[in-house]
Amino acid sequence: MHGLVYGLAALVGIAAAALGGYGMVGGAGSVRLPWLVPLGGLELTLDPLGGFFLALIGAAAVPASIHAMGATPGERRDRFTYLAFVLSMCVVPLAANTMTFAITWELMSIASYFLVLHDRESKSSVYAGWVYAVMTHAGLACLLAGMLLLGAWTGSPRFEDWRAAAPALTGAARNGAFVLLALGFAGKAGVIPLHVWLPLAHPAAPSHVSALMSGVMIKLGVYGLVRVSLDWLGIGPPWWGVAILIAGAASAVIGVLYALVDHDLKRLLAFHSIENIGIILLGIGSAVVFRTADQPTLALLGLTAALYHTVNHAAFKALLFLGAGAVVHATGTRNMEAMGGLVKRMPWTAACFFVGSASIAALPPFNGFVSEWLTFVALFQNRHLAAVGLNLVFILGIASLALTGGLAMACFVKAFGITFLALPRSDAAASAVEAPVAMRLAMVMLAAACVGLGLGPTLVVPVFGAVASSVLGVAAAPVTLGDWLTLRMAGGYASLSTIAIAIALGGALLVPLVALPLARASRRTREYETWGCGRIVQTARMEYTATAFANPFKRVFDFFYRPIKRLDIEFHPESRFFVERIEYENPTRSIFHDWLYRPALDLLRAGTRAAGALQSGSPNLYLAYILAALLLMLVLT
């Protein structure tokens, strides 16, 4: 019964991927049911950009659904909510008017809310659900306000009509609509500082849902940002692009910084989603700036890089979440400090997680590297911009992308090394068994996607480039293709061939294999325990922990983490040389919580308390209010 519903979800995924693919290659179609809902009715349209995101959602839903078939009955019990979640996500990129969009967007949010509340007994899940509900509805409020205002100004709730009417609007109106819509979509995408719900909500859901939430649901925020900044509102002022670039740079660096000091495997991955959304925004932001600067081919390059990274992130983040799900399934914990040694007990999961780690750390020749390379090259094109200020913003983007790459590599050394290598740090990890076949199949599918997207950029870049050029309305290709599956930039500026790198790496691996016998190297190998300064037995307590691993970063970036040190030692009453109990804690503090949300919530609370004075409970007073309101209306009209 469970399997049936998840099988159905996988079929929905396949159908969505097929329909989306049809849309991406230029297939168009629309459905209109005016009688179904008020205010314009239900209207769905398939266009290349919508098709792209539809295909992405469909393609990610297949492995996630297969993975769920291997989950425990407890983990997969919300099956109909899951199906509704997948279906509503599929419809969002097709929505063609305000009403349709609002309904499907809200359905998606509600379905995911119930999936976040999966563990209804746990206090932290309930809190996560609450924060998620508040943030997502604040976002919806912004979106609705923006859309209704746009509808009023342009005289139509249909997105199609906005494209034609938006350029004629006043600058203030377009800026206002941009701010409202961009805030709403950025909230869904988890852009700093609207990210607070994401690290709470994603880990709380079952892993196949986390994979979809991180892999594709937040991408619908990206979808909206592309629509707002490049499609619906026409060509905007440069500050739109600058704002997106700065938000992207901040999200990338801050996301990975939080991930470094978090040792909950799934929360770490959730923070990395913020980082990768930041990288995607760097691409989109550069596209917006180039478009305003009248450089359409460069804008195309930036948007193509962003779309490529969107797909890549969906592949490796879904893979990593499913891998984390397999680990949680086997060990029953999300705490990395209680893991270790799983590479021997779960070789398939370890190998797949390894591919995902290398991909997200942008190591060549995996897929993350290709899209980060494209993003770098897009940002390097600031040489075509005249304004020094814009150049500065681009350099900020370049530096933060480079820093993010290094920190992500460090973070995944921690994530893979502490989780899978060395000795198990708990009994649960020591007795872990390999994940069921369904889970392994799902992970292998996504690992293959990561490798394929890494080795075959020349096959997919033209497709993504076509989607980007349909959005921007330029008939060009972002890069040219050369021999050896090479991506080339005009004038020999840059080129990339991951297949050549992969072949060269493979060939170079043979060199030491051939050179060692030639140099008459000894072939003897002895297996012996790790050298440990003369101690008798090696135990897991002597291993480096995730906390210790992250400590250099905590100290380097202490102005950001603002760690607190709590040391509590209880001495033996007889002598201070004997310690009975020692407790050490070194938590970090969130600047967004302390300096943004806390003051805002305090203000809100004070405001509601002040407003509460109006509600005395006396009917006479309420009648007086009605009378006052009536008089006021009479005077005003």
Partner 1 sequence: MIAEVVAAGLQLLVVALGAPLLVGVLRTLKARLVGRRGPRPWQPYADLRKLLGKEAVVSTTASWVFRATPFVLVATILVSALIVPVLVARPPLAFAGNIILLVYLFMLATFFLALAGLDAGSAFGGMGASREVAVAALAEPTIIVAVLALALRADTIDLGRIVERFGREPWLAANPAHLLAFAAFFIVMLAETGRLPVDNPATHLELTMIHEAMVLEYSGRYLALVEWAAAMKFFLFMTLLANLFVPWGLASSAGPGSILLGLTALGGKLAVLTVAVAVLETSVAKLRLFRVPELLAGSFALAFLSLMAVILVQ
Question: Which residues within the stretch 340-369 sit at the binding site for partner 1 (CB under 8 A)?
Answer: 340-341, 343-344, 358, 361-364, 369
Q: How far is the CB of 487 from partner 1 (least distance, A)?
A: 9
Q: Say how far apart CA 161 and CA 43 lie, in whole Å.
A: 13
Taking CB under 8 A as the criterion, which residues in 499-518 touch partner 1?
500-501, 504-505, 508-509, 511-513, 516
Nearer to partner 1, 45 or 381 (CB): 381
CB 470, CB 455: distance < 8 Å:
no
φ, ψ of residue 186 to 5 degrees: the values are -65, -35
- Does position 433 bind partner 1 by CB under 8 A? no
Given the rule CB under 8 A, which of 21-29, 69-77, 322-330, 485-493 is the region that contacts partner 1? 485-493
Nearer to partner 1, 6 or 412 (CB): 412
DSSP 282-327: HHHHHHHHHHHTT-HHHHHHHHHHHHHHHHHHHHHHHHHHHHHHHH
- Does position 297 bind partner 1 by CB under 8 A? no
And the tokens for 23?
């849309």
- Exactly one of 486, 586, 592, 597 binds partner 1 (CB under 8 A); that residue is 486
CB 231, CB 163: distance < 8 Å:
yes
Q: Say how far apart CA 182 and CA 150 lie, in whole Å.
A: 13
- Exactly one of 178, 271, 308, 553 binds partner 1 (CB under 8 A); that residue is 553
- Does position 168 bind partner 1 by CB under 8 A? no
Interaction pattern, residues 260-279, with partner 1; x per rule: CB under 8 A: --------------------
Interaction pattern, residues 298-337, with partner 1; x per rule: CB under 8 A: ----------------------------------------
- Does position 423 bind partner 1 by CB under 8 A? yes
Residue count, binding to partner 1 (CB under 8 A)? 88
- Does position 559 bind partner 1 by CB under 8 A? no
What distance lies between CA 541 and its chain's CA centroid?
Answer: 34
Q: Characterize the bridge pairing of strands 566-571 and 42-46.
A: unpaired
- Exactly one of 376, 464, 560, 561 binds partner 1 (CB under 8 A); that residue is 376
- Does position 477 bind partner 1 by CB under 8 A? no
Nearer to partner 1, 94 or 418 (CB): 418
Element (H, E) at 239: helix 238-260
In the chain, how long is the greatest CA-to-CA distance?
102
DSSP annotation of 473 reads T
**What angle, 0 to 180 degrees and rounded to 10, lies between the N-to-C axes of helices 2-24 and 457-472?**
70
- Does position 133 bind partner 1 by CB under 8 A? no
Task: Kindly give the residue spans of alpha helices, DSSP state H, lying in 332-436.
Answer: 342-345, 347-360, 367-380, 388-420, 427-430
- Exactly one of 540, 563, 591, 596 binds partner 1 (CB under 8 A); that residue is 540
Nearer to partner 1, 133 or 444 (CB): 444
Nearer to partner 1, 406 or 607 (CB): 406
Taking CB under 8 A as the criterion, which residues in 400-419 touch partner 1?
400, 402-403, 405-407, 409-410, 412-414, 416-418
Q: Say how far apart CA 169 and CA 123 lie, in whole Å.
A: 48
Q: Characterize the bridge pairing of strands 486-488 and 480-482.
A: antiparallel
Q: How far is the CB of 457 from partner 1 (least distance, A)?
A: 11
CB 427, CB 55: distance < 8 Å:
no
